[in-house]
Amino acid sequence: MPAEPPLPALRLTIDQESLAHNWRELDRLSGTARAGAAVKADGYGLGAVRVARVLQQAGCADFFVAHWSEAAELAKAVDPARIAVLHGPLTDADAAFAVALGLRPVINSLEQAARWIAAGGGPCDLMVDTGINRIGLGLGDLADPQVSRLDIEVLHSHLAAAEDDSPLNAVQLARWTEARALVSHRRAALANSAGIMLGAAYHGDLTRPGLALYGGVPCAALQHTIRQVAYPEAALMQVRQIAAGESVGYNATFVADRSMRIGVISLGYADGYLRCWSGKGAMQAGGARLPVLGRVSMDMTVIDLSAAPDLREGDWVTADYALPEAAALSGLSQYELLTLLGRRFAR
């Protein structure tokens, strides 16, 4: 048998205590409602199974994914009956899969309702579109006889602008409240991370935080509550000295104005550290800030080691990746910063 490959020169350190802290705070802020957890996109890039186990220990009991393949993986760690699949049964095979594993589909159309009923049904969730105009039944669809045949665990809607002081929030709240009166259900959910901070009227019975669990700060009201969770780290592949006047990287976008000690790390845009970090990003080591020099490459980034003279090949540095600040600097959203992190990171 071939030897196991060594660990990569990239790792993503996940602060599990901060992850649990963030859920507990969001649960507390949800008042009489309970907080669930959106763990779609592989737990926002951190590893859905790992994330779910931490959140379960913290007290979380409801989990949301987008795709059926995500649900199959998550069912290794979570009771399938506690997993809701947001995209619903698009095919008969999806419905049969949900029945076989005991998963809860989120019904988004009358066609999906009919498909679920034909498959034998069972508990499901229902999404009502109240103004975001993505997936979900309109209010006018709720009188359809097929809806009354559904065994609805959670009646959902989704806010379009919860992080903003938008009049659309009140409109969606009113429509969701109307839907709750029209459809029989056990629990109701509207608020995402930012929606929790809109107040008790938006909480229903269940909230669905996502970004804030993982260190994102979608609104100012959460900035002193949420802790950073994800820390991308890379090993130094090479340390070298360059002279004044020498350039670094593709297209010579950085030219040294002095003799410099630089390092090459095993991190690039193929790992989700995109070219927008060129000349902007920085790493940290022992309290020293190590700016990115020149253009980020596919698999490599060059950093200035002037402030860390003791670093050697094989030593590790940590990317500046506190999500609100990183988003402002890079131009990427906090969601993109997390979900772009590639598969080459050891998590």
Cα gap 162→196, rounded to integer Å: 9
What integer pLDDT is reported at residue 340 of this predicted model? 96
CA nearest to 183, candidates 109, 128, 261, 238: 128
305-345 per-position pLDDT tens digit? 999 999 999 999 999 999 999 999 999 999 999 999 999 99
**Strand, coil or helix: 280:** coil
Q: Domain spanning 232-321: which CATH class is it, in words? A: mainly beta
Give the fold, CATH level 3, of 14-222: TIM Barrel (3.20.20)
pLDDT above 90 coverage of the chain, percent: 97
257-270 per-position pLDDT tens digit? 999 999 999 999 99
What integer pLDDT is reported at residue 1 of this predicted model? 64
**Maximum distance among all Cα pairs of the chain, rounded to whole angstroms:** 77
* The model's pTM: 0.95
What integer pLDDT is reported at residue 8 of this predicted model? 87
For residue 258, the 8-state DSSP code is S
Do 232-321 and 14-222 have the same topology in CATH?
no
Asked whether the predicted pLDDT for residue 3 surpasses 90, the reply is: no
Cα gap 144→147, rounded to integer Å: 6
Q: What are the extents of the domains in the chain?
A: 14-222, 232-321
Q: Roughly what angle, to the nearest 10 degrees, separates helices 92-101 and 110-118?
A: 50
Active-site annotation, residues = 40, 250
Q: Share the mean pLDDT of the chain.
A: 97
The answer to whether 121 and 150 are in contact (CB under 8 A) is: yes
